[in-house]
Amino acid sequence: MQIIVFLGAPGAGKGTAAVRIAEKLPAKHISTGAMLREAVKNGTPAGLAAKSYMDAGSLVPDSVLIDMIGELLTASTPDSVFLFDGFPRNESQAAALDELAVKFNAEVGPAVCIDVCEELLLKRLGGRRVCPACGAGFHVLSLPPKVEGVCDVCQAKLITRADDQPETIKHRLEVYEEQTAPLIEWYKKAGKLRMVDGSGDADAVADAIMEVIR
Ligand code: AP5
């Protein structure tokens, strides 16, 4: 079992790149943000525990995430290749992932950090539109749908994510700096870090990631 980790600030393009890389490798794309949004939608115990944190742009308690990832790995086969987008998000989650990796005989890495300046992060988050039905992501300028406001994949009406409001974005960026950015050093020390410039278009970023993953 192999677990590739994607790091990067909110709006860096982790999800957009993960969809492309998962198809190229192939690997299974695991977005903890998407899993939590689904849990909230379905009113599951994990969703009920997560909702207020997500609305505020804060991290959901570690125990919720670690249980989710533990269940996922328990249900997986030894030859699975995962692309984790949004987990781990702090040092205690990274330590838990290392423990799970020992338990499931999995290799963690490489950890790919998509690097984007704050000005571009704000533009990307401000123009993001998502499909509430299938989860596909778009951007009003850089990745517009074929028909304005309509999902290319399933034709549902696109929405703005609840946590893409200016005040919540500001808090999410602060949380990233305080809690998630230290993981860059964590994976650097482990010899697993691969930095990638995320400022190019979506295909260019995916190509750059494929280069460092190989
Ligand atoms: P999550 O869904 O993981 O949000 P995030 O990390 O804030 O990341 P985003 O999804 O906002 O950004 P992205 O980097 O994926 O960018 P995207 O590809 O969409 O988490 C949401 C919440 O869930 C968290 O706040 C927290 O509450 C909770 N949570 C999740 N995981 C957790 C964990 N492990 N522990 C605790 N809590 C957790 O791109 C953004 C926009 O830019 C899009 O419009 C896209 O079309 C566009 N774009 C992307 N790349 C390019 C490009 N190369 N060129 C042009 N446009 C691009």
Higher pLDDT, residue 165 or 214: 165
Q: Is residue 65 within 8 Å of residue 89, measured between CB atoms?
A: yes
CB neighbours (10 Å) of residue 20?
Answer: 18
- Token pair of 57 as six digits: 């742009």
57 CA: nearest ligand 1 atom: 25
Q: Whose CA is nearest to atom 8 of ligand 1?
A: 10
Measured distance CA(52)–CA(89) in Å, rounded: 18
Distance (angstroms) between ligand 1 centre and the Cα of 107 equals: 24
pLDDT tens digits, one per residue of 174-191: 999 999 999 999 999 999
**Pairing state of beta strands 81-85 and 2-7?**
parallel
pLDDT tens digits, one per residue of 11-55: 999 999 999 999 999 999 999 999 999 999 999 999 999 999 999
Question: Angle, nearest 10°, between helix axes 14-24 and 202-213?
Answer: 60
Average pLDDT, integer, range 186-203? 98
pLDDT tens digits, one per residue of 113-131: 999 999 999 999 999 999 9
Phi-psi region of 57 (alpha: psi -120 to 50; beta: other; left: phi over 0): left
Q: Is pLDDT at 214 greater than 90 in this prediction?
A: no
Could you give the residue ranges of the DSSP H alpha helices within 75-201? 91-103, 118-126, 166-175, 182-189
Distance (angstroms) between ligand 1 centre and the Cα of 22 equals: 16
pLDDT tens digits, one per residue of 3-14: 999 999 999 999
pLDDT tens digits, one per residue of 51-93: 999 999 999 999 999 999 999 999 999 999 999 999 999 999 9
What domains does the chain contain, in order, with CATH numbers? 2-116+180-213 (3.40.50.300)
Query: Ligand 1, from 3, 6, 58, 59: best to mutate by most atoms within 8 Å of Cβ?
Result: 59
Q: Is 177 helix (H, G, I), strand (E, B) or coil?
A: helix
Distance (angstroms) between ligand 1 centre and the Cα of 179 equals: 15
Measured distance CA(194)–CA(212) in Å, rounded: 6
**Residue 97 Cα distances to 21, 24, 73, angstroms:** 21, 24, 10
